[in-house]
Structure 1
Amino acid sequence: MGPIRGNRKRKRGDKKSDENGYGSAASECSLDWWDDFSRRLREGGHQSPMKSLDKFELIFKISRKTFTYICSLVKDDLTSKSREFTFLNGRLLSLHDQVAVALRRLGTGDSLAAIAGSFGLNNSTVSQVTWRFVQALEQRALHHLSWPSTELEMVEIKSKFQKFQGLPNCCGVVDTTHITMLLSTSDPTSNVWLDGEENYSMVLQVIVDPEMRFLDIVTGWPGKMDDWAVFQNSTFQKLCENGERLNGKKVVQQLTEIREYIIGDSGFPLLPYLMVPYENELSDGSSEFNRRHLGTRLVAQRALARLKGSWKIIRGQMWRPDRHRMPRVVLACCLLHNIAIDMEDEVQAAIPLSLDEHDSGYRQQICGSVFDMKGAEMRDELSLYLSQRLPS
């Protein structure tokens, strides 16, 4: 399967979308379901692998409100299929049961056997339910992952970025992380996925807003691809080159005209719409630019740390994953990440972040082969502007 890109229109989770059954009645159903579900797990002797069964948030790492909303999104897809899944005792899995199984699998990264033992299911049932959930989420939740479609949305993003570290007209932060896999060394096709750190991996590129929401993603490329190469093969880059993205209003700052742009680390190319840090000897102005640039860039590292901390199926080494399905699993995790933000989920927001976890063991890449004069002029203008501002 080729690289997956996310760029559809987003709808906030707190807006009305009751055509899928989201509302107070669904919330009550969710609470009733949890009471019954946790009781059946205890009675079935499957309590030991799952601690604090009375604590919903500790099990699923999301609030009941977010869980119910997710159920409303995938309801039609998970209940319209003719195939019926059952527990080992013969009882049918409800909509809520299926969502619980899938979220547990994606959230913990535990093996099929471990999840099956916890819920009283067959391994194959866990696998099929999770995949059906991923497919349903891909169809029903893409509106939660998109580039801003209105000027008002973009103005809000740029305003928040400027409040962070003073960067004017900044529209996002781009970064990458590696999804590692455990593949068979005897399979010659595995070498395609062997990266520079001698891991089998797939790369994920994201563009992030000030709230750590993903605005655009690319995944599916082998982890050995350089960051700059992934970016230059992305739809986002092509849209920018064609003037269809980052083409909004320019800002005039002290007679300097500054266009819209995103920022990234030294692994990305310097372009008129992509600002990267200065290298080599630094003047006072370029040092100030680098300081503010780094402070703003941390939002992407935090977003990726939360993604991998919340949906652990993509944090550790995945055991011989289906490499055609894997990009769609990654997309599903990114959608769940954004849904939690759009739902203002306090449980997700409280998860501790460890910035080292999102790409531990990978060295900083340096893109030295691509240089754009207009990009350099744009960066110098930004540097001059920032050097004349009071330190933030």
Structure 2
Amino acid sequence: MGPIRGSKKKRKIDNENVLVCGSFEEGCADWWEQFCKQIAGSVSPSKSPDHFESVFKVSRKTFNYICSLVNEPMMAKATSFAFLNGKSMSLYDQVALALRRLSSGDSLTGVANYFGTSHITVSHVTWRFVEAIEERGLHHLQWPSTDYEITQIKSKFENIRGLPNCCGAIDTTHIMMLLAVTDKNNNAWLDRMDNHSMILQVIVDPDMRFRDVVTGWPGTLDDASVLQKSSLFDRSEKGERLNGKKLKLTEGTELQEYIVGDSSFPLLPWLITPYQGQDLPETKSEFNKRHLATRLVAHRALARLKDVWRIIHGVMWRPDKNRLPRVILACCILHNIVIDMKDDVLDELILTHQHDPGYRSEVCDMADKNASISRDKLALYLSGRLAA
């Protein structure tokens, strides 16, 4: 289960609202100056890039790109939006409003007061933006499709702590919700920590870019169940994914492509989990250290996602559970866009490993016999003890 995209009819574009891509940078500079004057009553106006980034969590370069990306679908619709003073909202205004809503985590009323508009307008503009990002930005969230790309990913993962032929790290996080008492389906969303939540499962590359996203499932499900309901599981089990070149460890011993995950996931030929138990022998203990260092990239990616796009950071007040998966997906796409744009704003972020405070890791006892043998051989190989 995940974000479900409905069929959309293409509408005729109002040529008066279309901006030429080459004019976005200049147009944004003029817009920012006017915007600072407009919000002077809310914050101290400033023309500095630092102030821009603190407001929207992206640089002007990335903001310009996002505007060019969503321009056509956002401006093609007949509905127009306005501030309380009657002034029509430009594309920049709408993108700024949506980014502020997604990145600040402020309430609809809080964002409305900041921009001088109504909370209904904030809701409608944000949703239009989410739809536009999903429609035009999905190419930023794709499984690697070329041999060169997958080779680079494997090389970077191996450079972390030596795990060869690794293609990704998998992890999950909970998007917490405060549901209405009258909601008859409340218990379906109650997770093991007695929070109402929706699960987000991601596979991350070594640059903390999301390569696969599954969301929409209720917190009652454990990580293994969410995985088994995903298309990734079906395709990997059928040999349609993680089916690239095997790595020859020694004569007669090959290692297929795989991803790494913690003990909440099953041990499978294409998903390697750590050894469980205390007082492990040195070979297995060392393997676990390497494994942890490698999969921490997924922890960091989810922590950054929630730190930057704070609408999914805390407890969401009575969200539309049908729309929430698409809001989460939009945040994941924006996360990737910031990475793809090599945005300098990333340099200012303090990265943490915490994205699910209070949640302890689950333990899945499911283990494929062949996968267990492969993990043992990999551990011996890494320790230099696997005989040729």
TM-score when scaled to structure 1?
A: 0.91
Change (3 A) 1:229 1:130: same
Q: Which residue of 1 aligns with 2:190?
A: 194
Q: Which residue of 2 aligns with 1:239?
A: 235
SS of 1:136 mapped into structure 2: helix
Change (3 A) 1:162 1:113: same
Show the 5 A alignment for 1:1-392. Answer: 2-4=1-3, 21-23=20-22, 25-42=23-40, 45=41, 47-48=42-43, 54=48, 55-255=51-251, 256-280=253-277, 281-356=279-354, 358-368=355-365, 370-388=366-384
Partners of 1:288 and 1:65 in 2: CA distance: 43
The alpha-carbon deviation at position 287 of structure 1 amounts to: 1.0
- The answer as to whether partners of 2:32 and 2:47 remain within 8 angstroms in 1 is no
The alpha-carbon deviation at position 257 of structure 1 amounts to: 1.1
- The answer as to whether partners of 1:228 and 1:367 remain within 8 angstroms in 2 is yes
Between stretches 70-79 and 54-63, larger displacement belongs to: 54-63
The alpha-carbon deviation at position 68 of structure 1 amounts to: 0.4
Could you list the per-position Cα deviations for residues 60-116 of structure 1 after superposition, in whole angstroms to 9, with x for gaps in the alignment?
A: 111000000000010001111111100000000000000000000000110010000
SS of 2:242 mapped into structure 1: coil
The alpha-carbon deviation at position 185 of structure 1 amounts to: 2.9
Partners of 2:21 and 2:246 in 1: CA distance: 41
The alpha-carbon deviation at position 20 of structure 1 amounts to: 8.5
The alpha-carbon deviation at position 350 of structure 1 amounts to: 2.2
Partners of 1:20 and 1:204 in 2: CA distance: 35
SS of 1:171 mapped into structure 2: strand
SS of 2:194 mapped into structure 1: coil
Partners of 1:32 and 1:378 in 2: CA distance: 59
Partners of 2:261 and 2:376 in 1: CA distance: 16
What one-letter code is carried by the residue in structure 1 that aligns with 2:287? F
RCO higher in 1 or 2 (8 Å CA, sep ≥ 6)?
1
- The answer as to whether partners of 1:5 and 1:219 remain within 8 angstroms in 2 is no
SS of 1:141 mapped into structure 2: helix
SS of 1:90 mapped into structure 2: coil
What one-letter code is carried by the residue in structure 2 that aligns with 1:250? K
Partners of 1:100 and 1:302 in 2: CA distance: 26
Q: Which residue of 2 aligns with 1:9?
A: none
- Unaligned runs of 5+ residues in structure 1 are 7-18
Partners of 2:211 and 2:272 in 1: CA distance: 18
Partners of 2:361 and 2:47 in 1: CA distance: 41
SS of 1:246 mapped into structure 2: coil
Could you list the per-position Cα deviations for residues 169-208 of structure 1 after superposition, in whole angstroms to 9, with x for gaps in the alignment?
A: 0000000000000112342211111111000000000000
- The answer as to whether partners of 1:146 and 1:215 remain within 8 angstroms in 2 is yes
Change (3 A) 1:92 1:321: same
TM-score when scaled to structure 2?
A: 0.92
Could you list the per-position Cα deviations for residues 225-246 of structure 1 after superposition, in whole angstroms to 9, with x for gaps in the alignment?
A: 1101101111001010111100
- Unaligned runs of 5+ residues in structure 2 are 6-17
Partners of 1:251 and 1:20 in 2: CA distance: 50
- The answer as to whether partners of 2:242 and 2:257 remain within 8 angstroms in 1 is yes
Partners of 2:35 and 2:201 in 1: CA distance: 37
Partners of 1:324 and 1:53 in 2: CA distance: 39
Change (3 A) 1:182 1:371: same
- The answer as to whether partners of 1:5 and 1:218 remain within 8 angstroms in 2 is no
